[in-house]
Amino acid sequence: MGEDGPVTEPRTAPRLVATDLDGTLLCTGGTVSERTAAALAAAEEAGIQVVFVTGRPPRWMQQLRPHVGGHGVAICSNGGAVLDVRRGELVEYFPMSAGTALAVVEALRTELPGTAFAFEHADGWAREPGYEVLMWGDDMVCAIGAAEELLAEDGPVRGLFKLLAKHPDLDPDTFLTEARRVAGQLAEITRSSPIPLLEISAPGVTKASTLARWCAEHGIDRSEVVAFGDMPNDLEMLAWAGTAYAVANAHPQVLAAVPLHTVSNEQDGVAAVLERFLPGVCL
């Protein structure tokens, strides 16, 4: 139930669809199914703008170029950057100051020993030696050093828009709760990974803030937005949008916070909703 009564699905097509990627739109392995690709294309053809709003950094977006739609951009790094996917260029980004980043690093190191850090910035990415690489290009050439060296005035990190913090063995939800307790007053701290990996942005920078900015620039009211997500980093966006859906495989916190649910990402949950507005694309 919503504050004003039962939450119902919209009866008319939205002007904009904002969807998370991993765990929401994409299948396991990061692929776009044939059904979902058809639904995205049909939505764009019908004049519904589709915006990917993801925790992924810009360097992880090129494989989605065929599906990015007519505008060609995606909101990346939990709102920290807007990327022209076709050109591989940043349109804009919302930086965290070196002072703020170092304050977060110090707080987490002190209270949660073993935490290691990495840095997504305008020129690429950098990491501490203890930050174990993951996938999707994390092993690419990057600057390696202590946070203090990387963030120094003459260091390689310029235009930091996402700080990553990884712990070797804490429960992921516990890591998030404790990190917010000790450093939540300094920055936006969230998570989207199944491992103890936190994603940290400048104060006030979230998926919702950058999506709201995008919509305002294009004359789209929040009531005309339908959003989809699955993890804690989606919660602000899902709360902001006029209509929001959690996929069936979402984190329990998301399922509890979002009244409307669709089927899982593996069952094309986003496409299943879009097809209600675009019945001709049902495969």
Residue 130 pLDDT greater than 80, yes or no: yes
Mean pLDDT, residues 24-52 taken together: 92
Q: Which of 201, 232, 255 is the last residue of a domain?
A: 201
pTM assigned to the model? 0.92
Same domain, 78 and 213: yes
168-182 confidence digits (pLDDT tens): 999 999 999 999 999
CATH number for the domain harbouring residue 34:
3.40.50.1000
pLDDT of residue 3: 43
Average pLDDT over residues 266-277: 94
Q: Are 106 and 236 found together in one domain? A: no
Confidence band, pLDDT 50/70/90 cuts, at residue 165: very high
Output the pLDDT for position 2.
Answer: 41
Question: How much is the average pLDDT of 63-89?
Answer: 88
Which candidate, 213, 193, 255, places its Cα nearest to that of 18?
213
From 201, 223, 255, give the residue that closes a domain: 201
Q: Please give the residue range of the domain that contains residue 159.
A: 98-201
pLDDT of residue 1: 35
Question: How much is the pLDDT for 6?
Answer: 52
Q: What is the pLDDT of residue 8?
A: 62
Residue 37 lies in a domain: yes
pLDDT-derived band at 47 (thresholds 50, 70, 90) equals very high
Report the mean per-residue pLDDT for the chain.
91
Is the domain of 20 the same as that of 40?
yes
- Both 110 and 189 in one domain: the answer is yes
Domain assignment of residue 34, yes or no = yes
If asked whether residues 192 and 216 sit together in one domain, one would say: no
- The percentage of the chain sitting over the pLDDT mark of 90, rounded to a whole number, equals 79
Gap between the Cα atoms of 19 and 241, Å rounded: 11
Considering the domain architecture, whether residues 160 and 231 belong to the same structural domain is answered as no
For the chain, the domain total comes to: 2
**Domain shared by 176 and 216, yes or no:** no
| The domain boundary residue, chosen from 143, 166, 201 | 201
Is the residue at 8 inside a domain?
A: no
Chain centre distance of CA 257: 17
* DSSP characters over the chain: -BTTB-----SS--SEEEE-IIIIISPTTSPPPHHHHHHHHHHHHTT-EEEEE-SS-GGG-GGGGGGS-TT-EEEEGGGTEEEETTTTEEEEE-PPPHHHHHHHHHHHHHHSTT-EEEEEETTEEEE-TTS---STTTTSS-EES-HHHHTSTTSS--SEEEEEEE-SSS-HHHHHHHHHHHHTTTSEEE--SSSSEEEEESTT-SHHHHHHHHHHHTT--GGGEEEEE-SGGGHHHHHHSSEEEEETTS-HHHHHH-SEEE--GGGTHHHHHHHHH-GGG--
pLDDT for 61 equals 84
Other CB atoms within 10 Å distance of the CB of residue 260: 16
**59 domain-assigned:** yes
236 assigned to some structural domain: yes
pLDDT at 221 over 70: yes
**Is 193 a member of any domain?**
yes
Q: What pLDDT, on a 0 to 100 scale, did the predictor assign at position 232?
A: 97
Q: Residue 160 maps to which CATH number?
A: 3.30.1240.10
* 153, 62: one domain: no
Residues 23, 153: one domain? no
Flag whether 67 is in a domain: yes
Q: What is the pLDDT of residue 88?
A: 87
Same-domain check for residues 42 and 20: yes
Tell me: do 217 and 262 sit in the same domain.
yes
**What local confidence, expressed as pLDDT, does residue 71 receive?**
81
Using alpha carbons only, give the angle 128, 130, 136 rounded to the nearest 5 degrees. 75
Answer whether residue 4 is part of any domain: no
Same domain, residue pair 79 and 61: yes
Which of 39-43, 162-166, 253-257 is predicted with the least confidence, judged by mean pLDDT? 39-43
pLDDT above 70 as % of the chain: 92
